[in-house]
Amino acid sequence: MAINDNVLIKIRDRKDSLTPVERMVAEYILANKEEIPHLSIKSLAKASKTSDASVLRFCKTMGYNGYRSFIVSISASLGSMDEESGDQHTDIQPGDDLQTIIANISRNNIKSIEDTLSVIDRDAISKAIQVLRTSKRIVFSESAPPVLSARMRSRNLRALIKFATPTSTDIAS
């Protein structure tokens, strides 16, 4: 399964931006993900205390043409999770030695990055970069600690724009 196809991660990450009814569907799915592939649209609607139309609207919000393609994606995500069961987030337990703590933190960071990669909207990022490249002025504002954080972002942005913008020597060549 491609890294950006995990619908369960998309649901978890988008849940707070959904309508209240769509959120009810999302919460039910996340709490009962193993049974979802076996449910009809009517059964899911009833279980999530919503309607068939709400479930279908939720599927479309998640980027699917219909319930069937959504269920296929859920099944694929569950299969992927089974294959990657060793890659789950791991809690640090009292009494863990330093090596175990370091390994768990590293594994959790890697898993978080992979989860982020699976939901990134590359088109939206590309559009944002284009807007930044064509902007005449970009202002950074932050509440704490403002100077260091804004300077770091400004420096990183300048590097991005310099990298992407042809220099006078590039044009002369």
Q: Specify the pLDDT at position 172.
A: 44
pLDDT band with cut points at 50, 70 and 90 for residue 159: low
| Mean pLDDT computed over 68-79 | 86
Q: Are residues 135 and 59 in the same domain?
A: no
Dihedral (CA of 164, 170, 172, 173) sign = negative
User: Domain tally for the chain?
Assistant: 2
Identity of the residue numbered 18: L
Q: In whole angstroms, give the CA distance from residue 168 to residue 159.
A: 16
Q: In whole angstroms, give the CA distance from residue 161 to residue 28.
A: 43
What are the pLDDT digits (tens) for 84-139?
Answer: 544 566 677 788 788 888 887 888 888 788 777 777 778 888 898 888 888 887 77
| Mean pLDDT computed over 153-166 | 58
If one counts every other C-beta atom within 10 angstroms of the C-beta of residue 70, the result is 23
| Mean pLDDT computed over 149-158 | 66
- Residue 61: inside a domain, yes or no? yes
- Residue 159: inside a domain, yes or no? yes
Q: Are residues 66 and 25 in the same domain?
A: yes
| Mean pLDDT computed over 58-74 | 91
| Mean pLDDT computed over 12-36 | 91
Q: Specify the pLDDT at position 92.
A: 75
- Residue 18: inside a domain, yes or no? yes
Q: Are residues 80 and 12 in the same domain?
A: yes
- Residue 53: inside a domain, yes or no? yes
CA distances 80 to 5, 87, 115, 167, Å, are 10, 11, 13, 45
- Residue 114: inside a domain, yes or no? no
Residue partners of 75: CB distance under 8 A and separation at least 6: 37
